[in-house]
A and B are shown apart, each in its own frame.
Chain A
Amino acid sequence: EAGVTQFPSHSVIEKGQTVTLRCDPISGHDNLYWYRRVMGKEIKFLLHFVKESKQDESGMPNNRFLAERTGGTYSTLKVQPAELEDSGVYFCASSSTGGGYTFGSGTRLTVV
Chain B
Amino acid sequence: QQPVQSPQAVILREGEDAVINCSSSKALYSVHWYRQKHGEAPVFLMILLKGGEQKGHDKISASFNEKKQQSSLYLTASQLSYSGTYFCGTRRSGGGADGLTFGKGTHLIIQP
CB proximity to B under 8 Å, residues A55-112: 55-56, 59, 91, 95, 97-106
B100 touches A101 (CB 8 A): yes
Q: Which of A41, A48, A95, A105 contacts B40 (CB 8 A)?
A: A105
Instruction: Chain B residues near A104: list those with CB within 8 A.
Output: 41
Least CB distance from A18 to B in Å reads: 25
CB proximity to B under 8 Å, residues A24-66: 31, 33, 35, 41-45, 47-48, 50, 55-56, 59
Q: How far is the CA of A111 from the CA of B44 in the complex (A)?
A: 29
Number of interface residues of B (CB under 8 A): 24
Contact size range, A: 20 to 34
Q: Which residue of A lies closest to B40 (CB)?
A: A105
Interface assignment of B51: CB less than 8 Å from any CB of chain A: no
Interface assignment of B58: CB less than 8 Å from any CB of chain A: no
Taking A42-B103, A101-B44, A103-B42 as contacts, is the C-beta distance between A48 and B32 under 8 angstroms? no
Q: Which residue of B lies closest to A95 (CB)?
A: B96
Interface of B toward A, CB cutoff 8 Å: 2, 32, 34, 40-44, 46-47, 87, 89, 94-105
